[in-house]
Amino acid sequence: MPLPLPVLIYVLFIALFGTLHMVFILKKKGKVAAGKSDPTFFLVTIPFLLCLIAGPVESVVRHLTLMLFRYLLGIVFLVAGAVFDVVSLSYLKSAFSTLVDNKVGQKLVTSGPYGIVRHPLYLSYIFIAGSSPSAMRSWFALGLFLCTVAGILIRIKVEERLMSAVFPGYKEYMKQTKGLIPGIY
């Protein structure tokens, strides 16, 4: 994991400053009276040096913590989406189709995850697609994720028009069960 550029520039500047400062102090040391020391020198020097080190260390720790959190959140989305996908497909069985169509003799599935939301497969796709921008901290992936969500919302509208026309109980099912988010949408 590379250091963030501002932290890297700061650390390089501090290293350069520290080196020049130490060279200056070492050159002056010969001019100090032999046997004399000033304990207040350490009251300034130690906090000063710790102050210079604390900023970059804290920044790196914060960066790593945030990166780890985003990565773990992405993994949780990915696993949750994959599990929800497999469970949803197991309830659909032969009713699954990549096309918005009606198979002869097809029954409306309203049990399992379809009793919680009308489109659990699309919800699983949203979780899986949402894992990439989170885990990889990618603006490009975030843009594609938003396009995916928009495409899913459009496809749901098309699918629900067909389902309402084909299955007599679908409109009642729509009233009882939310589309993607239980209790909300």
pLDDT at 19 over 60: yes
pLDDT for position 64: 82
Main-chain phi, psi angles of 106, to 5 degrees? -70, 135
Domain contains 32:
no
Which DSSP symbol is given to 117? Answer: B
12 with 47, same domain: the answer is: yes
59 with 136, same domain? no
pLDDT in tens, 98-119: 776 677 777 889 999 999 999 9
Q: Please indicate whether residue 157 or residue 45 has the higher confidence score (pLDDT).
A: 157
Tell me, yes or no, whether 83 and 118 share the same domain: yes
What's the predicted TM-score (pTM) here? 0.69
- Within a domain: 89: yes
Q: What is the pLDDT of residue 27?
A: 66
For residues 171 and 84, membership in a common domain is answered with yes
Q: Please spell the DSSP secondary structure of 140-162, one letter per residue.
A: HHHHHHHHHHHHHHHHHHHHHHH
Identify the pLDDT of residue 181: 92
What percent of the chain has a predicted confidence (pLDDT) above 70? 85
Per-state percent for the chain, helix, strand, coil, to nearest 5: 75, 0, 25
Look up residue 112 and give its two tokens.
């399992």
Q: What is the mean pLDDT of the chain?
A: 83
Shared domain for 52 and 94, answered yes or no, is no
Query: Is the same domain home to 86 and 157?
Result: yes
Q: Please tell me the total count of domains within the chain.
A: 2
Asked if residue 9 belongs to a domain, the reply is: yes
pLDDT at 40: 74
When mean pLDDT is compared across 50-59, 83-92, 175-184, the lowest value belongs to: 50-59
Domain of 168, in residue numbers: 68-176
pLDDT tens track for 114-152 = 999 999 999 999 999 999 888 887 889 999 999 999 999
